[in-house]
Amino acid sequence: MRWTPGRRSVNLEDRRGQRMTGGGLGLGGGGFGRMGLGGLVVVVILSLIFKQDFLGLLGGAGADTGTDVVEGPVASTPEEERQVEFVSFVLDDAQANWTRIFASAGHQYQPATLVLYRDATQTACGFGQAASGPFYCPGDAKVYVDLGFFDELHSQYGATGDFAQAYVLAHEIGHHVQSLLGTERDVRRLQSGDPRNANALSVRMELQADCYAGIWARSTEQRDILERGDVDEGLAAAAAVGDDRLQRMGGGRVNPDAFTHGSSEERMRWFQQGFSGGELRSCDTFADLR
């Protein structure tokens, strides 16, 4: 992508200097500490698939057991600071585009905050851990990212390039758009009334967030920010986190009934749908439910 380093977003909250201490983490001697490497990998994969903190459940981190937050200086490197500036750029550019889209429809866009943290942090949605990957919390309108995830995206999932990282952030901002539009609330209500279809409804919501990421990607092309190969990097990232691929990586069989985010093919297709259509109406993943 074409971007200019040197600035941070005013909507960025840097918690990289924070550390969690006390019983809440439960990392010493709990399920985490006794688990072998293979078991740990499986739990991490499950956390990524279902966007639930299974590591926290094993170690007691999901409960309020006296965890304290200790503030300290942010230890960083020039490379990591450049990454902070890059995610700031993507955050601001994506939200500026959604501000324009909302305004054209007569609505006011309320910006989300991007929280950078390391390992674990408290959120309005509960205790968040890096093992769960980047996530959006509608309770506080914040996107949570441990920058270490981008290294994993490259080394473990084979999704390289800066636009692969941009796609991840744009997807999470897409969840914020869903929250503002009331989609997230409606889906949770439907899931509560029809638990058997909860996973299928989750897939539709995740695919719509992929489509919203595609809408932003189209705007970057129109403004000559995209470089050759960027869209392919975004598609590769979408494919890398498909439920079917993650299930295979976890050593199990592919079970579509357990999908919560969509297959690699579906995630790529809906990203392309947003990129081609460029409008909210291009991303109606719930059309057949009406």
Cross-strand partners of 113: 142
Q: What is the pLDDT of residues 25-47, one digit of tens each?
A: 332 222 323 333 334 444 444 45
Decide the pairing of beta strands 12-14 and 120-123.
Answer: unpaired
Asked if residue 227 lies in contact with residue 2, where contact means CB atoms within 8 angstroms, the answer is yes
Sign of the C-alpha dihedral, residues 35, 38, 39, 42? Answer: positive
Cα(90)–Cα(95) distance, rounded to whole angstroms? 8
Mean pLDDT of the 252-277 span: 89
Q: What is the pLDDT of residues 114-124, one digit of tens each?
A: 999 999 999 99
Q: What is the structure's pLDDT at 252? A: 76
Closest C-alpha to 275, from 224, 229, 210, 203: 210
CA distances (Å), origin 27, targets 57, 66, 80, 104, 141: 11, 14, 26, 49, 28
Q: What is the pLDDT of residues 188-224, one digit of tens each?
A: 999 999 999 999 999 999 999 999 999 999 999 999 9
Q: What is the pTM of this model?
A: 0.82
Q: What is the structure's pLDDT at 22? A: 61
Domain ranges of the chain: 12-17+74-289
Cα(183)–Cα(87) distance, rounded to whole angstroms? 25
Q: In terms of pLDDT, which residue wins out, 50 or 289?
A: 289
CA distances (Å), origin 168, targets 92, 96, 274, 290: 14, 17, 15, 29
Q: In terms of pLDDT, which residue wins out, 158 or 4?
A: 4
Angle between helix axes 183-193 and 162-181 (nearest 10 degrees) is 70
pLDDT at residue 58 tops 70:
no
Q: What is the structure's pLDDT at 257? A: 77
Q: What is the pLDDT of residues 152-165, one digit of tens each?
A: 888 888 888 999 99
Percentage of the chain beyond pLDDT 90 is 61
Average confidence score pLDDT of the chain: 84
Angle between helix axes 162-181 and 230-240 (nearest 10 degrees) is 70
Q: What is the structure's pLDDT at 227? A: 93
Q: What is the structure's pLDDT at 289? A: 73
pLDDT at residue 56 tops 60:
no
Mean pLDDT of the 4-16 span: 95
Burial of residue 104, with CB atoms counted within 10 A of its CB: 0-12 exposed, 13-18 middle, 19 or more buried: exposed
Percentage of the chain beyond pLDDT 70 is 84
